[in-house]
Structure 1
Amino acid sequence: MSSAQTLLRRAQFLPLLLGGLYGVVLLLATVPWVQRELTYLHWIRFPFFPKYDAPHAYGLAPFKTRNFAISTPDGETLGAWHVLPNSYYMKQAPFPPQSDLSEDVFANAFGARPTVLYFHGNAATRAAPHRVRTYAALSSVLDLNVVAVDYRGFADSSGEPSEEGLKVDARAAYDWIAKQVKAAGKGVPEKQIILMGHSLGTGVASALTGLLADDRIVPKALVLITPFSSIPDLLSSFYLFGVIPLLSPLGHFPSIQNFFKSLISVRFNSVEALSRTLAPTLIVHTKADKVVPHSHSAAIFESLVAPNGTEAGIPKPFVLDYKGWGTLRISNPRGRQVIWWEGDFGGHDEVGWAEGTMDLIADIAKLNIPSDGPSYISL
């Protein structure tokens, strides 16, 4: 038998081999421990050899950021950073600071400017480069306090991640900030707090917004960067490491796909959580996103604008097309402002700190917009 014939015979078994490997992946995906490890990727602790107590080592201004810890009701300790708003930081004497600023300086900052509570995506830590760039933009461009938290099991935080655990972490971080805002004499805390999540963090931020709504608390704004509607829905179109499809090959067999979706223990149902809040909401996504398809943002936007389909009395979203940048959709269902920017360009980890994103955050949270000046919404 020739070598060509031998190769041809072996090639006949390739579909069986690939099918078998895919079956193994599916079976592994039903194991809760495997789901947890692949959902959070918390064991990827980048940057390596971290210096959490020296945030300026990662590009933040000298002594502008404090490293501290937040305790949760169930006994975990969360590593966190507090980045000062730029205007407040520049008032420190001497400037630039020559050493660590006092705790009182950071405590009083909560009375100077609003605060963003930032929830990052899976893998790595609060010191990851694209996350640091986001903190810097929020602090410098929008002049905000930024509190960035590592969930349990991430970075230097204790414990192991879980959906309920991350919700506890999120509420603990919010309550800590609310306490600081109140102590700084800034009035009603929720009017000074913006929730912002990226990727996995959008599920956390959405869940927290729903929990706060149950307590009749409405934050100043909610910002969702590259969000997903729910983890099971995301897995229907997700490629692990950008290569291995999970549930998408089962799309031709809806009942089988739904069966495997029902076995997903980590759910983060953002659509359901967001249905409970009236917080002004900004959704940012790009068509070029290779991790989370931008169709998820479309689903979230539609669920917020018309949860029951086409509702009577709710006008169609106002649409603005910016050639070469993207499409902006604006709606005000039931008095709640919802903005969705669908960008033409930008990667999954880059849109969070983009200038256009900062402008949109300023719009949704009513920040730094001159009374006689234009905004994206008013154009």
Structure 2
Amino acid sequence: MSSAQKLLRRAQFIPLLIAGLYGIVLLLATVPWVQRELTYLHWIRFPFFPKYDTPHAYGLAPFKTRNLVIPTPDGEKLGAWHVLPNSYYMKQAPFPPQSDLTAADFDKALGARPTVIYFHGNAATRASPHRVRTYAALSSVLDLNVVAVDYRGFADSTGEPSEEGLKVDARAVYDWVAERVKAAGKNAPQRQIIVMGHSLGTGVASALTGLLADDGIVPKALVLITPFSSIPDLLSSLYLFGVVPLLSPLAYFPRIQNFFKSLISVRFDSVEALSRTVAPTLLVHTKADKVVPHSHSEALFQSLLAPNGTEYAIPKPFVLDYAGWGTLHISNPQRRQVIWWEGEFGGHDEVGWAEGTLDLIADIAKLNMPSDGASYISL
């Protein structure tokens, strides 16, 4: 037998090998522990040798940010940062500050300008470069307080992550902020708080907004950057590490795919959570996203137009096309403004701090700048 024939014979086993490896991946994906580790990737802690008590080491202005520990009702301790709004920071004397400001100074800032609570994606920590750049943009360009938290099991926070645990964390952070906003003189703190999530954090932000709605609380706005409709739906289109497909090869076998989806214990069903709130909502996604397909934002947008199925007529959204930038889909269903930006360019981790995104956040939250009292844009 020639060497070519031997190679051909061996090549016949390659499809079987690939199918076998894929089967192993599927079986591993049904194990709850494996699901947790791959969903949160909390064991990837970057930057290395972190200095959470020195936020300016990562590019934030000197003494503009305080390092916090926020307790949860079930006994965990969450590491967090509070970044001051630029207008408040620049009023400090001397400027720039030469030492840490007091807790009272930071608490007072929560009454001076609105606050965005930022829930980050999986892996790494609140000190990751693209996240720090987002805080800086929200603080400097939009003049907002920024409270960025690491979930339980991430960074210097205690505990282990779970879907219910992250929901507890989110509500604990909201209550912590709302209590201080009220103490600073704002009788309706929810009107001063913007809930914002990126990637995995959009599931957390959506869940929080649904929980708040159950208590009759509607935040100032909800901002979802590269969101997904649910974890099971995401896994139907996700490539692990950008290479290994999970459930997408089973699309030709819907019953088998649905069976494996039913075994996913971490769900973060954003469609269901968002059906319970009337908070003004902004969806930001690009066609260039290589992690979460932008079709998830389309699914969320459609669900927001008709949160109760066919009970209400679906309003026709207003569409604005911007050549080379993207398309805005705007609607006002059920007493809430909903904006979906479908961008042409921008990576998964970069779109959150883009200038166009900041303008859209200013609009959905009806932010007024201290200088002129006018919103950035009017859609």
| TM > 0.5 fold call | yes
Aligned to 1:287: 287
> Which digits, 9 at most, give the CA deviation of each residue in 1:179-198, with x for residues without a partner?
01011012211000000000
Residues 2 and 314 (structure 1), Cα distance of their counterparts in 2 relative to 1, 3 Å cut: closer
> Which digits, 9 at most, give the CA deviation of each residue in 1:322-345, with x for residues without a partner?
000000010000111000000000
Structure 2 CA distance for aligned equivalents of residues 363 and 150 of structure 1: 27
Question: 1:101 aligned to 2:68?
Answer: no
Aligned to 1:55: 55
Percent identity (aligned): 84
Kindly state the Cα deviation for residue 225 of structure 1 after the two structures are TM-superposed: 0.2
Aligned-residue Cα RMSD (Å) equals 1.2
Aligned to 1:184: 184
**SS of residue in 2 equivalent to 1:161:** coil
8 A Cα contact 2:46 2:124, kept in partner: yes
Q: TM-score scaled to structure 1, two decimals?
A: 0.97
Aligned to 2:23: 23
Structure 1 CA distance for aligned equivalents of residues 29 and 117 of structure 2: 32
Kindly state the Cα deviation for residue 311 of structure 1 after the two structures are TM-superposed: 6.4
Aligned to 1:239: 239
Kindly state the Cα deviation for residue 307 of structure 1 after the two structures are TM-superposed: 3.5
Kindly state the Cα deviation for residue 309 of structure 1 after the two structures are TM-superposed: 5.7
Aligned to 1:113: 113
Structure 1 CA distance for aligned equivalents of residues 3 and 158 of structure 2: 57
Aligned to 1:205: 205
Structure 2 CA distance for aligned equivalents of residues 156 and 372 of structure 1: 40
8 A Cα contact 1:360 1:376, kept in partner: no
Aligned to 1:12: 12
> Which digits, 9 at most, give the CA deviation of each residue in 1:123-177, with x for residues without a partner?
0000000000000000000000000000000000000000000000000000000
Residues 374 and 36 (structure 1), Cα distance of their counterparts in 2 relative to 1, 3 Å cut: closer
Kindly state the Cα deviation for residue 376 of structure 1 after the two structures are TM-superposed: 4.8
Residues 313 and 231 (structure 1), Cα distance of their counterparts in 2 relative to 1, 3 Å cut: closer
Aligned to 1:362: 362
Residues 110 and 283 (structure 1), Cα distance of their counterparts in 2 relative to 1, 3 Å cut: same
Letter in 2 for 1:66: R
Aligned to 1:278: 278
8 A Cα contact 1:80 1:147, kept in partner: yes
Letter in 1 for 2:184: A
Aligned to 1:219: 219
Letter in 2 for 1:375: I
Structure 1 CA distance for aligned equivalents of residues 239 and 375 of structure 2: 44
8 A Cα contact 1:287 1:344, kept in partner: yes
**SS of residue in 1 equivalent to 2:73:** coil
Structure 1 CA distance for aligned equivalents of residues 271 and 376 of structure 2: 32
Kindly state the Cα deviation for residue 375 of structure 1 after the two structures are TM-superposed: 1.6
1:29-108 to structure 2, matched below 5 A, reads 29-108=29-108
8 A Cα contact 2:368 2:374, kept in partner: no
**SS of residue in 1 equivalent to 2:358:** helix
Kindly state the Cα deviation for residue 5 of structure 1 after the two structures are TM-superposed: 1.2
Question: 1:306 aligned to 2:309?
Answer: no
Kindly state the Cα deviation for residue 310 of structure 1 after the two structures are TM-superposed: 6.4
Structure 2 CA distance for aligned equivalents of residues 262 and 186 of structure 1: 44
Aligned to 2:266: 266
1:340-351 to structure 2, matched below 5 A, reads 340-351=340-351
Question: 1:194 aligned to 2:194?
Answer: yes
Structure 2 CA distance for aligned equivalents of residues 26 and 373 of structure 1: 49
Structure 1 CA distance for aligned equivalents of residues 328 and 30 of structure 2: 38
Q: TM-score scaled to structure 2, two decimals?
A: 0.97
**SS of residue in 2 equivalent to 1:202:** helix
Aligned to 1:171: 171
8 A Cα contact 2:363 2:376, kept in partner: no
8 A Cα contact 1:230 1:268, kept in partner: yes
Letter in 2 for 1:82: H
**SS of residue in 1 equivalent to 2:67:** strand
Letter in 2 for 1:275: S
Letter in 1 for 2:65: T
**SS of residue in 2 equivalent to 1:111:** helix
Kindly state the Cα deviation for residue 313 of structure 1 after the two structures are TM-superposed: 5.0
Aligned to 2:329: 329
> Which digits, 9 at most, give the CA deviation of each residue in 1:68-97, with x for residues without a partner?
100000000000000000000000000001
**SS of residue in 2 equivalent to 1:110:** helix
Letter in 2 for 1:211: L
